[in-house]
């Protein structure tokens, strides 16, 4: 519990489904944390409850400027545009008066091209950016066993971030320059989304032919069709009708769009990426901001 004593207070922005448990793991590892969320009430309540739970100093940064005292600040936010708006003004000045040498670690699922641009502006202002998006869903966020894809232009900034990231993860993959972490995350989520879309189509066709959906899931998971979607999504959220994975439909749709845009940017003809993006866009347009597993309901009624 006290292994991180003596280390400076860590800043963390974004206390949602993933960010909340990630901060909890930092505090449980002995870090004092300064937290901020767009919802002031959530910020205050979270800080009070986490301090009582862990015995660490948890500062409630209702005003983002409070984060300026932190030399390493993590962001876990919905989009790269939101990340930029938290860090920079429209005139590309620091919104938070960070000291030169501060390291920003964006763990959001961001657009890699926007990350590169934001990182360039920050570097000109004396602040280094590292992208370190996560994979593993809310369950692994809670257990501190996330997979991390880390990109950085500045090795010293990455080395400052890694010991802290280790408290939230079981594996860290150095992917290359700044933006490559977010590129890898988008491509990973495209593959996951494609698997979910394909598994949903198979489950729908099987049921219409008379197959039992629970039996189908068992067979898929014991056969070559096995994937994260068949193992962790189809059973609990489709067959058992929970529809509560914690991963929102707008977010996975955004990630698939980012992956499709990346395919175009590198000049790669990618019809599967385009088709999956169209599928999720249609579901989002019909259903709105629901859990992503709800897309099955939309697709299966075609």
Asked if 34 and 65 touch (Cβ cutoff 8 Å), the reply is no
* The CATH fold of domain 10-178: Rossmann fold (3.40.50)
Domain edges within the chain: 10-178, 186-300
Look at residue 3 in the predicted model and tell me its pLDDT. 47
pLDDT digits (tens, 9 = 90+) for 3-50: 454 457 999 999 999 999 999 999 999 999 999 999 999 999 999 999
Specify whether the backbone of 187 is left (phi greater than 0), alpha (psi in -120 to 50) or beta. Answer: alpha
The torsion angles phi and psi of 28, rounded to 5 degrees, stand at: -65, -25
Give the pair of three-digit tokens for residue 114: 């926007």
* The CATH fold of domain 186-300: 1.10.1040
Least confident span in 3-17, 53-67, 167-181, 218-232: 3-17
What is the reported pTM?
0.92
pLDDT digits (tens, 9 = 90+) for 74-95: 999 999 999 999 999 999 999 9
CB-CB neighbours of 131 under 10 Å: 32
Look at residue 137 in the predicted model and tell me its pLDDT. 86
The average pLDDT across 123-152 equals: 96
């Amino acid at each position: 519990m006290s292994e991180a004593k003596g280390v400076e207070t860590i800043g963390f922005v974004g206390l949602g489904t993933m960010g909340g448990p990630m901060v909890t793991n930092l505090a449980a590892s002995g870090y004092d944390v300064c937290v901020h969320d767009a919802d002031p009430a959530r910020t205050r309540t979270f800080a009070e409850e986490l301090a009582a739970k862990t015995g660490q100093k948890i500062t409630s940064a209702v005003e983002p400027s409070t984060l300026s005292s932190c030399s390493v600040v993590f962001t876990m936010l919905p989009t790269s545009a939101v990340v930029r708006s938290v860090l920079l003004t429209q005139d590309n000045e620091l919104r938070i008066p960070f000291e030169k040498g501060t390291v920003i670690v964006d763990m959001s699922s961001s657009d890699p091209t926007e990350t590169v641009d934001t990182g360039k502006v920050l570097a000109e202002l004396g602040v280094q950016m590292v992208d370190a998006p996560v994979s593993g869903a809310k369950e692994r966020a809670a257990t501190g066993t996330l997979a991390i894809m880390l990109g950085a232009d500045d090795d010293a900034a990455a080395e400052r971030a890694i010991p802290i990231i280790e408290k939230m993860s079981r594996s860290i993959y150095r992917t290359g320059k700044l933006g490559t972490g977010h590129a890898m995350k988008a491509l990973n989520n495209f593959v996951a989304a494609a698997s979910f879309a394909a598994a949903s189509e198979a489950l729908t066709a099987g049921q219409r032919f008379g197959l039992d959906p629970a039996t189908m899931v068992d067979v898929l998971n014991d056969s070559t069709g096995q994937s994260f979607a068949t193992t962790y999504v189809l059973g609990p959220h489709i067959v058992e009708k929970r529809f509560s994975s914690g991963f929102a439909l707008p977010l996975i749709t955004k990630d698939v769009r980012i992956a499709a845009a990346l395919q175009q940017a590198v000049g790669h003809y990618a019809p599967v990426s385009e088709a999956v993006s169209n599928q999720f866009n249609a579901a989002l347009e019909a259903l709105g901001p629901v859990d992503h597993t709800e897309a099955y309901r939309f697709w299966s009624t075609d």
